[in-house]
Amino acid sequence: MKSQTQANPASLRPEQTNQGLPRPAETESLEQLVEQAAEAAPLPADALPDDLAEVRSSGFSLRDKFLNVKSLASFGIAFAILGLAFWRADINLAEMWQQILQTNLWLYSAGFIVFYGLFPIRAWRWRIILRSAGFEVDSPQSRKNWSGIAALSEFIGLSWFANCVVPAKLGDAYRGYLVKKNGNASFSRTLGTIFAERIVDMIVLFGMLVVSGLLVFQGHLNSWTEKLFIIGIVFTILLVIGLMSMRYLSPLIRRALPQRFHDFYARFEEGTLSSFRPSRLPILLILTIIVWLGESMRLFFVIEAMGGLGLSLSAIIFVALASSLLTAVPALPGGLGLVEVGIAGVMMLFSVGQTTSTAVAFLDRIINYWSIVILGLVLYLFSKRK
């Protein structure tokens, strides 16, 4: 009787390639085996959560996703948060408008350049993760169709646009659909690579937030900062626990899941775990640090465009990273409402007035939210890869 590893590769499910315990593939042949299995046996729609099944089968429909109750309710909550913040805060709208009009446009434009210059770096990092997970990204055909830096940057831009107009981070699922459509790759395993990217992002973000916070406050944290650190610690611990659970408690997790999700989870798990190759972790960490420093420099140029406001670079990094934590909240599209309040609130810790803090938040969100909505819509309408 032939062993399982001698069977026809196309007949094996991903969870059968390692005696029911998916883990990072240790050989190229095992990577190819998993990918062949994923392509040979696409999951039925009922084996996926409803939202993911819909995105996988038909992509992202702007009309259907934006004009539904969940999306409209999330925007209602976001604008309610902004309205409440304006109502309770002592903001002089006329003064705020004057400050905005006096903004140095050259320095402000530098913020745009830095922000959009990070997309190819994010694409390069994701390409490394995809390669680690066993995706064929280096062939000429793959580079042309989907795995080139330009194509991956486009996928990230489209997914960010989706995340800015609908809640629940469905843009991440849309990114998985784009790889499936253009690269004929496993949707579930692609989601695993995106989840792995999120894990690296959050761990580095929180590490840099702690370092900048200690430099700024010199160990004397106020209650607000302590709560922020607790949120970051909880996020990081949950991500690490989730990753370790995938690695060591896979049978228990599957036992707890409904039977119809087992195949989806097996492929998702394989995509996540195989993304973390020890030999490639240093470059992933370096690129992620560059990304978060770039996000901080975006805010630096916004603040410099308003005259500097007497803030040190470490303080600006702390503000940028603290507000970035709030974008992880899935209930609101792009963190709308929470991020604006977060930026203004953190800046007030450094004795910046409410009116000026609100002006900074307004200008910064034009770059990292509203410009994505506008430019992302243009990209969505004209993209040939969507």
Q: Is 355 exposed, middle or buried (0-12, 13-18, 19+ CB in 10 A)?
A: buried
User: What pLDDT, on the 0 to 100 scale, is given for residue 349?
Assistant: 84
Residue 230 lies in a domain: yes
CA distance 317 to 296: 5
CA distance 215 to 22: 42
Question: Token digits for 358?
Answer: 């609100």
Sign of the alpha-carbon dihedral angle for 107, 111, 114, 117: negative
Residue 347 lies in a domain: yes
Torsion of CA 239, 195, 112, 107, to 10 degrees: 20
User: What pLDDT, on the 0 to 100 scale, is given for residue 1?
Assistant: 44
Q: How many domains does the chain have?
A: 1
Q: For 103, left (φ over 0), alpha (ψ -120 to 50), or beta?
A: beta
Question: Token digits for 145?
Answer: 């169709």
Residue 45 lies in a domain: no
CB 129 within 8 A of CB 271: no
Residue 348 lies in a domain: yes
User: What pLDDT, on the 0 to 100 scale, is given for residue 123?
Assistant: 96
365: domain range? 60-136+193-371
Locus of tokens 């309408």 = 381
CA distance 317 to 292: 9
Residue 222 lies in a domain: yes
Question: Token digits for 119?
Answer: 């997309």
Residue 8 lies in a domain: no
CA distance 16 to 22: 8
Q: How far is CA 303 from CA 17, 155, 228, in A?
A: 53, 30, 22
User: What pLDDT, on the 0 to 100 scale, is given for residue 81?
Assistant: 87
3-state class of 248 per DSSP?
helix
Per run of 10 residues, the mean pLDDT along the chain (length 386 residues) is 42 39 44 48 51 55 73 86 84 90 95 96 96 89 90 95 83 88 86 92 90 81 75 82 85 82 82 88 95 96 91 91 81 85 87 91 95 94 87
User: What pLDDT, on the 0 to 100 scale, is given for residue 282?
Assistant: 94
User: What pLDDT, on the 0 to 100 scale, is given for residue 173?
Assistant: 86
User: What pLDDT, on the 0 to 100 scale, is given for residue 125?
Assistant: 96
Q: Which residue pairs, CB below 8 angstroms and at least 24 apart, start in 243-247?
A: 243/199, 243/272, 243/273, 243/276, 246/272, 246/273, 247/23, 247/273
Residue 258 lies in a domain: yes
CB 311 within 8 A of CB 350: yes
Residue 162 lies in a domain: no
User: What pLDDT, on the 0 to 100 scale, is given for residue 377?
Assistant: 92
CB 323 within 8 A of CB 329: no
